[in-house]
């Protein structure tokens, strides 16, 4: 018969200390998270900038005598010149164009009801029958509904523009945090990663695998999605400018933003415009825009996104698409990064678990 001896007092004390330490870790982690939560986007983008420009910093380091601080300053200067200044210029131009659009709607210089009326009068009879079934055949009713929707959308856009101006101080603080954090992560990133890795209770090979997956997904998602969005926005804006559509820059930025949604993003902007051209009798403009949107703008998404995003992340296209949309629904614009990143870490964690079992 086996002998069962009671646990010693020292073992009980060790167990209590372990539980106390675990509770302390949870408490201070929650407290730190609540402090950093208002600036999570700034911290995230500081980390992203450091990941994207660390290869350039490593290339620059031996060329200036391995002076890490000077190399980090040079890398940060490149970030400001290549990312911050162009983005600021686009935001200023976009704010001016959005404000012009909002003022035109308010003053009546831009009359959406006129466009609706022109399109409504040219609709075929079978379309009118469908609208009649839903109670929309009456033009005043249709005009009120569409005008109300457009007014709400323009008001929201103008509110966001005005908020950017009113929250300039908050924006500058967030930008400063991102650049400040990026500087230290670029300069001391390797030692920081090693220090954090030692605190994770996993085998070194598993820690390395998780970090590699994290860095790969972030780089692929940011570079792939942003590159596709910039190309599609530029191509769409160029088409709108060539067709004489007012506010081409505003539409280009809107297409770039919607392009973060895989497959159908940019079509949500150019599709209704092409349909309006067709309905109002501008056949060649409508057909040209539809062909351009499908064969040029759509081809960029279909060819580049799987190569730049899906190939590097090694996740199926449908997983990338669903997690991107879900991430943006939960986290806003930052979700196009966080969604696929969470999915990739989920798959990697379960793979490690299955291997260890």
Number of neighbouring beta carbons within 10 Å of residue 305: 25
CA distance to 11, 109, 251, 320, per residue, from 104 (Å): 76, 5, 16, 39
Domain boundaries, the chain: 38-199, 201-357
Look up tokens 């696929």; give the residue. 340
Token pair of 198 as six digits: 């030692």
Number of neighbouring beta carbons within 10 Å of residue 244: 9
Comparing 299 with 313, which gets the higher pLDDT? 299
* pLDDT, position 137: 53
- Gap between the Cα atoms of 312 and 43, Å rounded: 24
* pLDDT, position 130: 64
Torsion angle (degrees, nearest 10) of CA 283, 288, 291, 295: 180
- pLDDT tens for each residue of 194-236: 777 677 777 777 777 777 777 777 877 777 777 888 888 888 8
Tally of CA atoms within 13 A in the half-sphere of 246 that contains its CB? 9
Among 3-12, 160-169, 257-266, the range of highest mean pLDDT: 257-266
Q: Say whether pTM exceeds 0.85.
A: no
- Gap between the Cα atoms of 253 and 237, Å rounded: 8
- Gap between the Cα atoms of 134 and 348, Å rounded: 49
DSSP states of 128-182: HHHHHHTT--SHHHHHHHHHHHHHHHHHHHHHHHHHHHHTHHHHHHHHHHHHHHH
Among 52-61, 157-166, 192-201, the range of highest mean pLDDT: 52-61
Contact 18/11 with Cβ under 8 angstroms?
no
Comparing 194 with 49, which gets the higher pLDDT? 49
* pLDDT, position 220: 77
Q: Is the pLDDT of residue 129 over 70?
A: no
- Gap between the Cα atoms of 349 and 273, Å rounded: 45
- pLDDT tens for each residue of 310-319: 565 667 767 7
* pLDDT, position 104: 66
- pLDDT tens for each residue of 79-109: 999 888 888 887 777 767 766 666 766 666 6
């Amino acid at each position: 018969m086996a002998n069962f001896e009671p646990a010693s007092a020292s073992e009980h004390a060790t167990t209590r200390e372990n539980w106390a330490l675990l509770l302390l870790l949870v408490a201070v982690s929650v407290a730190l998270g609540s402090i950093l939560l208002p600036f999570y986007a700034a911290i995230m983008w500081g980390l992203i900038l450091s990941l994207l420009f660390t290869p350039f910093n490593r290339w620059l380091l031996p060329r200036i005598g391995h002076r890490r601080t000077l190399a980090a300053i040079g890398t940060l200067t490149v970030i400001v010149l290549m990312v911050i200044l162009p983005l600021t210029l686009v935001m200023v131009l976009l704010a001016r164009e959005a404000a012009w659009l909002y003022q035109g709607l308010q003053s009546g210089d831009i009359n959406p009801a006129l466009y609706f009326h022109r399109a409504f009068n040219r609709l075929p009879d079978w379309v009118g029958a469908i609208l009649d079934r839903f109670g929309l055949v009456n033009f005043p009713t249709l005009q009120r509904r569409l005008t109300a929707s457009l007014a709400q959308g323009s008001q929201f856009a103008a509110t966001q523009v005005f908020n950017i101006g009113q929250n300039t101080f908050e924006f500058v603080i967030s930008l400063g945090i991102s650049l400040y954090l990026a500087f230290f992560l670029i300069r001391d990133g390797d030692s920081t990663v090693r220090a954090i890795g030692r605190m994770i209770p996993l085998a070194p090979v598993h820690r390395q695998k998780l970090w590699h997956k994290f860095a790969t997904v972030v780089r692929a998602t940011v570079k792939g999605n942003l590159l596709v969005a910039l190309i599609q926005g530029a191509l769409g804006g160029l088409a709108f400018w060539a067709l004489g559509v007012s506010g081409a820059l505003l539409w280009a930025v809107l297409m770039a933003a919607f392009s973060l949604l895989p497959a159908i993003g940019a079509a949500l902007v150019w599709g209704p415009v092409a349909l309006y051209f067709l309905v109002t009798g501008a056949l060649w403009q409508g057909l040209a825009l539809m062909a351009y949107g499908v064969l040029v703008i759509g081809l960029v998404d279909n060819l580049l996104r799987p190569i730049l995003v899906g190939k590097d992340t090694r996740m199926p296209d449908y997983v990338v698409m669903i997690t991107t949309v879900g991430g943006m629904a939960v986290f806003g614009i930052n979700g196009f990064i966080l969604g696929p990143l969470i999915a990739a870490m989920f798959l990697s964690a379960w793979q490690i678990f299955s291997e260890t079992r």
